[in-house]
Structure 1
Amino acid sequence: MSSVYIVDEHYIPYSVAKKLLGEVIKSGVSSNLLQRTYDYLNSVEKCDAEVAQKIMEELSSIVNREDVRAVLASICPLTPDEVRSILIMDSNKSYSSDDIQKIIDIIKKYIKS
């Protein structure tokens, strides 16, 4: 049995997790838990993995925390109240109305509502 080492750790959007999990399942490694997790991620996914990554990259100019960007790219909120409910996770930073609108604009650029 080979050893697995964690080299780096990152927060990722749901669609990226689904893509990675799909690759693991296709490689022949599967279990009931992996399949149920994949099915769940498939049901909540708002965009594909590439789009989610682009959203995360663009949000980095506004939102410093990777975990907050990952949640935003997973949930794809389209109203100021929805965005604020996620940004509350980042208690160290205050976001202006302009910041919130920029976040919504970035998400709307990629998501067809």
Structure 2
Amino acid sequence: MASCFQMSNLGVLSYYLGIEMRQGKEMLTLGQSTYASKLLEWSGMAECKPCMTPMEERLKLMKDSTMAKVDGTLYRSIIGGLRYLVHIRSDNSFVVGYVSCFMEDP
């Protein structure tokens, strides 16, 4: 490609679009811990304790809840960030998909 295009060597890729890359001799490891930390800080949940399961078991959410409404723009932004996080952490895809059902009227 260098013969067809003007290129410069910027070194080993380590961070791109929120995805961290660690390159070894025989493997490439992808992660998003920095992105996840920034998302937690931005959403005001940086001080929350981690848990083994991403969602309470047998949780039933309803669209016609009596709870106070939340800021829809903030909710959609957080869900969008979580959807991007699922690219690396596919174990959270069910939970993110579940809460995405409430993006219209959070």
- What's the TM-score, normalizing by structure 1? 0.26
Q: Which fold has the larger relative contact order, with Cα–Cα distance below 8 Å and residues 6 or more apart in sequence?
A: 1
Higher helix share: 1
- What's the TM-score, normalizing by structure 2? 0.27
> Could you say which structure has the larger radius of gyration?
2
